[in-house]
Amino acid sequence: MRILDRNIIKFKFSFLLSFVLLLSGEAFSEQQRVSLRWKPSQGAESYLIELSEDREFLRVHHFYKTKNFRYEFNSQDSKFYVRVVGINVDGGRGVSSPIISLADKFAAAPKVKVERPSTVVASSEELRISLGDPKTNGPSTNSPGSPNSQKQVPVSTYYRVNGGEWQRYDGSISLSQEGWNEVEFYSEDILGNKETPKKTKYLKDTTAPQVRLIGEKKGPSGLIEIKSGAELTLQVTEEGSGMEEITINLAARDGSGAEVNQTLSGEEAKKPIKISSSGIDGLSILRWEANDKAGNYIQSEIPMLIDAKHPACVFAPTEGKLREDGIYYLKENGLIAIRCEDPGTGSGLSKLEYKIGNGSIQPYQNPIGFNTGIHTVTVYTSDRVGNQAEFKIKVNAIKPDWQKTGSELQEK
């Protein structure tokens, strides 16, 4: 379900919330998880995910703070209402998102058996989880109707993280260690009845996926230069909660030509991603956005030069001209000059060579002279990314060596 919030005046925080039903639990147990997502908001440095027992949010029961755009709830939060509030760098609050009932979402979420704890939580500078209200039965297994729940005997809940010291639970637990965290907890009433400690695991993932372009180097322009049609390869690294999705766009900056749009998710997003540049020419931008299952998000772009055109050449006789029959006619001592250029958006000229007739190929350095007669000239040129072209012209070098004759004038 997607809900679009209105823009706010003080901070431009807007929220597009969606819920995804996810499955998790302890070894061979049945549990549910519900995932909340929202679009990043301009001006928001972090987000508060606030939970309340009443829809009007007269009192915030507890909250989670995160810099990401996704959070997963476990069954201990299923009775609450939730909203998201953007916080700017100075700590100012934006307008809250729409309020959503987690109870409704959990009611629709299926339960499945899983073989190991795999609770994934969103990343946060100060990640906090909740075991319930410490003023009631907390996380105790007392079921409704049991003697303890009827009497509402006051209880105290204790917990420890990763085998550390036991601490009294006051409403939330801070997880500071990156990676898997094992949380143990139990409740004890005022009569000394103590339940068997339970265990659960939470994955704190604060590292966004790493995306890099491999196998390409910058050219003389200072940009990555490739031949149009060549494949680019993106390598994605995600060692935390796993890849959720990556979206890739490649297009010419001026909007001309073809455009590539590609979206991959899950395991497919972790394999090397091949991107074709066919049909794209000129200064272009390769963009990507990627997020993992914990909500860590990254976006980046790389400018590059994609060259689809080969160099073009022109020929200029120094003493002569091009006749209508397509042959360059040269006077005595005439030369043919060759000038080749890559288009303005190209990678630049790399090679210019020529041969006369069946002779050897030589690098072009200066205008070419010819012996008397008709010749075929083949010109070879290429740019820095490998676009090649071949041009052929005919040259007729004429040497005026005829005898001057005539008759004498005679007087009558």
Residues of the chain with pLDDT under 50: 1-14, 20-29, 113-118, 124-126, 137-151, 409, 412
Task: Find the Cα–Cα–Cα–Cα dihedral 133, 136, 140, 144, rounded to 10°.
Answer: -120
Give residue 228's pLDDT. Answer: 92
Give residue 270's pLDDT. Answer: 82
- Rounded Cα distance, 173 and 129, in Å: 5
Question: Do 70 and 36 meet the contact criterion of CB atoms below 8 Å apart?
Answer: yes
Q: Which DSSP string corresponds to 30-82?
A: EE-EEEEE----TT-SEEEEEEESSTT-SS--EEEEESSSEEEEEGGGTTSEE
What angle is formed at CA 401 by the lines to CA 395 and CA 407, rounded to 5 degrees? Answer: 135
Structure tokens that stand for 328 in this block = 């360059």
Give residue 380's pLDDT. Answer: 97
Non-local (6+) Cβ contacts of 48 within 8 A are: 63, 64, 65, 84, 85, 87, 93
Closest CA to 243 of 202, 213, 276, 211: 211
All structural domains of the chain, each given as residue ranges with its CATH number in brackets, are 34-114 (2.60.40), 156-204 (no CATH), 210-307 (2.60.40.1220), 312-398 (2.60.40)
Q: In sequence order, what E strands does 111-197 have?
A: 112-114, 119-121, 127-129, 155-161, 167-168, 173-175, 179-189
- Rounded Cα distance, 42 and 289, in Å: 16
What angle is formed at CA 306 by the lines to CA 305 and CA 308, rounded to 5 degrees? Answer: 140
Closest CA to 363 of 394, 338, 329: 338
Q: Which helix (H) or strand (E) holds 150?
A: helix 147-151
Q: What letter represents residue 342's amino acid? A: D
Closest CA to 295 of 70, 64, 35: 70
Q: In sequence order, what E strands does 331-372 have?
A: 335-341, 349-356, 362-363, 368-369
Q: What is the pLDDT of residues 368-407, one digit of tens each?
A: 999 888 999 999 999 999 999 999 999 999 877 655 555 5
Closest CA to 344 of 312, 387, 379, 391: 312
Quickly tell me which residue has 């994934």 as its tokens.
Answer: 120
